Amino acid sequence: MAHLQRLLLLGGGHSHVEVIRRFGERPLREAAITLLSPERHTPYSGMLPGYIAGHYSYHDCHIDLEPLCSAAGIVFRRAEARGIQPEAGRVACSDGSLADYDVLSIDVGSTSDVHDMSGALEHGIRVKPVAAFLSAWEGIHAALRQGRQLSLVFVGGGAGAVELAAAMHHRLAKETSAGSARIAMLTDTASILPAHPARVQRIFERVLSGRGIKVHCNAKVVRVSPGRIECADGSSVDADHAIIATGAGAPAWVTASGLKADARGFIAVNAYLQSLSHPNVFAAGDVATMMDYPRPKMGVYAVRQGPILHRNLLHALRGESLRSYVPQRTALALISTGDKHAVASWNGIAFEGDWVWRWKNRIDCRFMATYRR
Ligand SMILES: Cc1cc2nc3c(=O)[nH]c(=O)nc-3n(C[C@H](O)[C@H](O)[C@H](O)COP(=O)(O)OP(=O)(O)OC[C@H]3O[C@@H](n4cnc5c(N)ncnc54)[C@H](O)[C@@H]3O)c2cc1C
C-alpha cells in the first residue's frame, strides 16, 4: 500500500483557517492531515478591541477550529508545539508527545516583543498570545467592577495599543465608577501610530486625551517590575498592570528550531512561502518573513497568504511545481476608537466616522461567517 503522506499544520492562525476551509471543499485522499493548536478557538484580532469594548461576544471574535477541521477530515489535536526537529521531521509538544510529518506548515503567529525589556515576561500582561491576555483582562475587569482602583499602563503606541486602550476606556466608563481605572500609554517613538499618516496620529491624540488617557512619547521601557515601569532615561511610572502591546516578536521556540530565520528570528521563506533551509517546511502569517517581499506583521497579509499556502501545500504533497506569490504593497487599516467609530488609514490617506466602524464591522463579520460550521 502506498505510504500516506503526513501533513502537519501548526497553529490555527489566519492563513491556516483558509487552508483548512479549502481542504474541506475538496478533501485530500493522498495525505493524513493534523492540526496542532493549544486552543480550540482561535482569535480574530481585528474584532478583539470590539470584544474588549463590549460590542462582541467571545464567539463573535473566535473561530471554532474543531468543526472546521472535522468538516475537512483533518484531525484536530489540542497541543502546543514547543520545538521543531526539522532534520527528523518531528515536532515536540508541551505535553511531551511528538508529532511526525512529511510536510510541515507553520502559522503560529507572533508574541508581543519584549526584547530589551527585563521583567516584562514575569510582570507584564502581553497582548499576544491572546488567550492569556483575555484571561488577564477578565481579572482586571472583575476587580474594577468590584470597586478596586487600578492604573493600567500600555507599553507600545501602535494600532493594537491605541485600539485596546480606547476600547478598555469605553467599556470601563460604562461599567465602573468614574476614576476607578487610570489608563496611560508609554511609547518609545516620537508620536503614537508612527506607521500611519500625521492625520491619523492627530485624530488618536485627540481621542486619547479627550478620555484622559495620558500618552508619554520617547519613553523607552527597559524594565517592568511589580507596580512600576522604568524607562531608559531614568524616569518611571507607577502601574498596577503593565500591558505589553509592543510590535510582533518571534516565538523563542521557533527561533531555536534550526529553520533559517531573519534577523529578528522569524522564519525566512521564499515567494512560495517555503522555508529557505528546509523545502518540506512552509510558514505564513506573522511567524514568517518573505525575504524578497518583507511586509508589516498584519493579519491582512496572513489572510491573503491562505489560498497560496493551500495551493503550495497541495502541490508539495503531490510533487508538483510550486507557485510564487507577491504580496500587496500596502494594506488598509481600519482602527477603532472604542465607541463604534473608526479611522481608516491607507497609503497616506485618512478618514473617520461611525460609518467607517460599520464598514469594518461588515468586513469582520463576513470574514468570521466564512469559517462558521
Ligand atoms: C489588538 C490587536 C488588533 C489587531 N488588529 C488588526 C487588524 O485590524 N488588522 C490587521 O491586519 N492586523 C491586526 N492585528 C495584527 C494581527 O493580530 C496579526 O498580524 C495576525 O493575528 C497574524 O495572524 P497569524 O495567522 O500569523 O497568527 P494568529 O492569528 O496570531 O494565530 C496564531 C495561532 O497559532 C496558535 N499557536 C500559537 N502558538 C502555538 C504553538 N506553540 N503551537 C500550536 N499553535 C500555536 C494560536 O493559538 C493561534 O490560534 C492586530 C493585533 C492586535 C494585538
Query: Could you report the per-residue pLDDT of 95-130, keeping only the tens digit for each?
Result: 999 999 999 999 999 999 998 999 999 999 999 999
Task: Please answer whether residues 211 and 185 qualify as being in contact, where contact means their C-beta atoms are separated by less than 8 angstroms.
Answer: no
Per-residue pLDDT averaged across 151-165, rounded? 98
pLDDT in the model for residue 198: 96
Please tell me the distance between residue 12's alpha carbon and the centre of ligand 1 in angstroms. 9
Q: Are residues 229 and 126 in the same domain?
A: yes
In a domain, 346, yes or no: no
Ligand 1 nearest atom to the CA of residue 110, by list position: 30
> Is the CB of residue 296 below 6 angstroms from any atom belonging to ligand 1?
no
CA distance 151 to 186: 13
Domain that holds residue 313: 5-110+250-318
Do 221 and 297 belong together in one domain? no
| Domain-ending residue, one of 221, 247, 273 | 247
Q: Phi and psi dihedrals of 34, rounded to 5?
A: -130, 140
Domain boundary among 203, 229, 247: 247
Instruction: Please name which of 155, 151, 153 lies closest in space to residue 180, comparing C-alpha atoms.
Output: 151
Question: How many domains, in total, are found in the chain?
Answer: 2
Pocket test for ligand 1, best of 16, 84, 108, 255 (most atoms within 8 A of CB): 108
Which residue, by CA, sits nearest to atom 50 of ligand 1? 45
Could you tell me if residue 323 is inside a domain?
Answer: no
User: Does 50 sit in the ligand 1 pocket, CB within 6 Å?
Assistant: no
243 and 131 inside one domain: yes
Is the CB of 286 inside a 6 Å radius of any atom of ligand 1?
Answer: yes
Whose Cα sits closest to atom 15 in ligand 1? 298
**Do 47 and 336 form a contact (C-beta atoms < 8 A)?**
no
pLDDT at 272 over 70: yes
Are 94 and 160 members of one domain?
no
- Tell me, yes or no, whether 290 lies in a domain: yes
C-beta of 302 in contact with ligand 1 (< 6 A)? yes
Phi, psi of 361 (to 5 degrees): -60, -40
Check pocket membership of 338 for ligand 1, CB cut-off 6 A: no
User: What is the C-alpha separation between 101 and 88, in angstroms, rounded?
Assistant: 9
Q: Please choose from 66, 298, 305 the residue to mutate so as to test ligand 1's pocket, defined by most ligand atoms within 8 A of CB.
A: 298
On whether both 277 and 212 belong to a single domain, the answer is: no
Binding site membership of 156 for ligand 1 (Cβ less than 6 Å): no
Same domain for 259 and 187?
A: no
Ligand 1 pocket, residue 364 CB under 6 Å: no
Cβ neighbourhood burial of 76 (10 Å; 0-12, 13-18, 19+): buried
Write the residue with the smallest CA distance to atom 10 of ligand 1: 299
> How many whole angstroms from 79 Cα to the centroid of ligand 1?
17
Do 125 and 218 have their domain in common?
yes
pLDDT at 3: 75
Answer whether 283 contacts ligand 1 (Cβ < 6 A): no
88 and 153 housed in the same domain = no
Contact 163 CB / ligand 1 (< 6 Å): yes
Q: How confident is the model at residue 177 (pLDDT cuts 50, 70, 90)?
A: confident
Q: Is residue 351 part of a domain?
A: no
| pLDDT value for 257 | 95
**327 domain residue, yes or no:** no
Out of 219, 247, 275, a domain closes at: 247
pLDDT of 208 > 60? The answer is yes
Please check the confidence at residue 221 and state whether its pLDDT lies above 90.
Answer: yes
pLDDT of residue 18: 98
Cα 145 to the chain's mean position, in Å?
A: 28
Can you read off the three cell numbers belonging to residue 298?
Answer: 498584519
User: Which single residue is written with the C-alpha cell 492563513?
Assistant: 15
Cell for 18? 483558509
Give whole-number Cα distances, 246 to 154, 177, 230, 334, 342, in Å: 9, 29, 15, 19, 21
Q: Is the CB of 105 under 6 A from ligand 1?
A: no
| Residue whose grid cell is 483575555 | 134
Percentage of the residues of the chain whose pLDDT score is greater than 70: 99
Ligand 1, pocket-test mutation among 45, 134, 267, most atoms within 8 A of CB:
45
pLDDT digits (tens, 9 = 90+) for 50-101: 999 999 999 999 999 999 999 999 999 999 999 999 999 999 999 999 999 9
Distance 236 CA to ligand 1 centre (A): 31
Structural domain contains residue 336: no
CATH of the domain at 11: 3.50.50.60
Regarding the beta carbon of 37 and ligand 1, being less than 6 Å apart is answered yes
* pLDDT in the model for residue 2: 61
pLDDT in tens, 3-15: 789 999 999 999 9
Whether 134 is covered by a domain: the verdict is yes
The predicted pLDDT at position 356 comes to 98
Q: Is the CB of 13 under 6 A from ligand 1?
A: yes
Check pocket membership of 126 for ligand 1, CB cut-off 6 A: no
Helix residue spans in the chain (DSSP H): 14-25, 48-53, 65-71, 120-123, 130-145, 159-175, 198-210, 252-255, 299-318, 354-370
Pocket of ligand 1 contains residue 341 by CB under 6 Å: no
Is 334 inside any structural domain?
A: no
pLDDT digits over 311-341, tens only?
999 999 999 999 999 999 999 999 999 999 9
**Chain Cα centroid distance, residue 231:** 26
The burial of 146, by beta-carbon neighbours within 10 Å (0-12 exposed, 13-18 middle, 19 or more buried), is given as: exposed
Determine which residue's CA is closest to atom 2 belonging to ligand 1.
160
ipTM of this complex: 0.98
Residues 93 and 130 grouped into a single domain: no
What type of residue sits at position 180? S
Whether residue 242 sits in one domain with residue 143 = yes
Q: Is 131 found in the same domain as 29?
A: no
In a shared domain, residues 37 and 140: no
